[in-house]
Amino acid sequence: MFLLRFFTFVLVMSFLINSSFRSVEAYAKDAHGSQDHPLISRYPDTSIVSYHTSNFEEFMIAKEPITKESFQERGNSTLPPVIKYEGKTISINYKGNNKKISALAVYRNYEKAFAKHNFKTIFKCKSDDECGGWFAKQLYWYGDPKRQGRHRYLDAPNLHGKRQTYYYWSGTTQVQGKNYVVSLLVAQDTAAYFPVKIILDVNSPEKLNEDQIGINLDQIKDDMKTSGKVVLDGIFFDFDKSTLKPSSNKTLSIIADYLKLNKSKKFFVVGHTDNKGSVKYNRMLSTKRAQTVVRHLVEKYGIQDARLHPFGVGPVSPILSNEDENGRAQNRRVELVLNK
């Protein structure tokens, strides 16, 4: 069995599940800089062969099997039905230190511990018969290319067919008010010629702090001269609202300085969104945000109302793909566009 640790209000509480079986030798073989997750420890006599952490990225868990029809239609771009999240990720690849450790034994121990500590199961399956053909190689390799450089030992492209046995589990839990999304893949060749392989992902969904980029007066001048518009980095709104955050004040002051230096010119203030939600809703939200910027410039900085025309275009003019959060974050913007 293995150790599951939970944090309490101030002290760290530990749930010990036959912790005496933990192997000192296993730790000696771990990849440099790696460690067990504080929430879930390893199966005895296994070593960490790859380890990755990220403060913010996209991650996903499967919620249903992959279908033969979807794979035939889309090939290596196919994913099983997934739930996507964004936030902090920790991904750990373990392997058994001997061939006597079976995939089933490892999986049953994890499964029992998850149930004992009230993890909520979203989806679980065994091998291609239950998970669908090509499930592991799509979810852990071709459908998620970033794993290809992280978990080379996994050899995910070969995890399919009768010669491979694997178990998948995904679910959620909450500890001290913080949500965690967990996925587990345990794999081994059916004949057990090679040691068991384990991928444990523990992820913490959260929103990105976008209030970190600003703009300066020289940048506004240069962009206006070369393209007739400038993206107003440093304008921040409350999530899904048109309310400006206090962190926008510095950028608003710089924009006002530029407008005061160019009193004869008029401008559009153009709001943009990503493509989440309906076009109608995004047009409305982008218009309200543009209007809010204009109102602040007029009321707080004394810019003439007639010089600024708010306009919302919603999602119709992205600067990057909306397929990932990095693109969506940059598409949510306000631009100052020269009118005349």
Q: Is residue 300 part of a domain?
A: yes
The predicted pLDDT at position 1 comes to: 44
Confidence (pLDDT) at 23: 47
Among residues 149, 175, 205, the one where a domain terminates is 205
Instruction: Say whether both 183 and 258 belong to one domain.
Output: no
Do 234 and 330 share a domain, yes or no? yes
210 is a domain residue: no
Pair (182, 323) in one structural domain: no
212 domain residue, yes or no: no
Hey, what amino acid is at 271?
G
Per-residue pLDDT of the chain (340 residues; tens, 9 = 90+): 444 443 332 223 333 233 333 444 556 689 999 999 988 989 999 999 999 999 888 899 999 999 877 766 665 667 899 998 888 999 999 999 999 999 999 999 999 999 988 999 999 999 999 999 889 989 999 888 888 878 868 888 888 899 999 999 999 999 888 899 999 999 999 999 999 999 999 999 876 555 555 678 888 888 888 889 999 888 888 888 899 988 888 889 999 999 999 999 999 999 999 998 899 999 999 999 999 999 999 999 999 999 999 999 999 999 888 887 778 888 899 999 999 7
How many whole angstroms separate alpha carbon 119 and alpha carbon 107? 15
The answer to whether position 70 is within a domain reads yes
The number of helices, as runs of H, and strands, as runs of E, in the chain is 9, 12
Tell which of 180, 205, 230 closes a domain. Answer: 205
Output 317-325 pairs: Cβ under 8 A, ≥24 positions apart.
Answer: 317/272, 318/272, 318/274, 318/275, 319/231, 322/274, 322/275, 322/276, 324/58, 325/58, 325/86, 325/208
Same domain, 221 and 197: no
Range of the domain at 156: 4-205
Task: State the pLDDT at residue 314.
Answer: 94
Whether residue 121 sits in one domain with residue 245: no
Structure confidence at residue 210 (pLDDT) = 56
Any alpha helices (H) in the chain, and if so which ranges?
A: 24-28, 68-74, 103-116, 127-131, 135-137, 217-227, 249-261, 279-301, 325-331
State how many domains the chain has: 2
Amino acid 25: pLDDT: 53
User: Which pLDDT score, from 0 to 100, does residue 72 have?
Assistant: 64
Same domain (yes/no): 21, 130 = yes
Tell whether 253 and 295 lie within a shared domain.
yes
**Co-location of 187 and 233 in the same domain:** no
Q: Does 320 share its domain with 224? A: yes
Residue 211 lies in a domain: no
Among 160, 177, 205, residue at a domain's last position: 205
The answer to whether residue 125 sits within a structural domain is yes
310 in a structural domain:
yes
What is this structure's pTM?
0.60
Both 49 and 85 in one domain: the answer is yes
Q: Are residues 60 and 167 in the same domain?
A: yes
Radius of gyration, alpha carbons of the chain: 26
The CATH number given to whatever domain includes residue 252 is: 3.30.1330.60
Do 227 and 304 share a structural domain?
yes
In a domain, 16, yes or no: yes
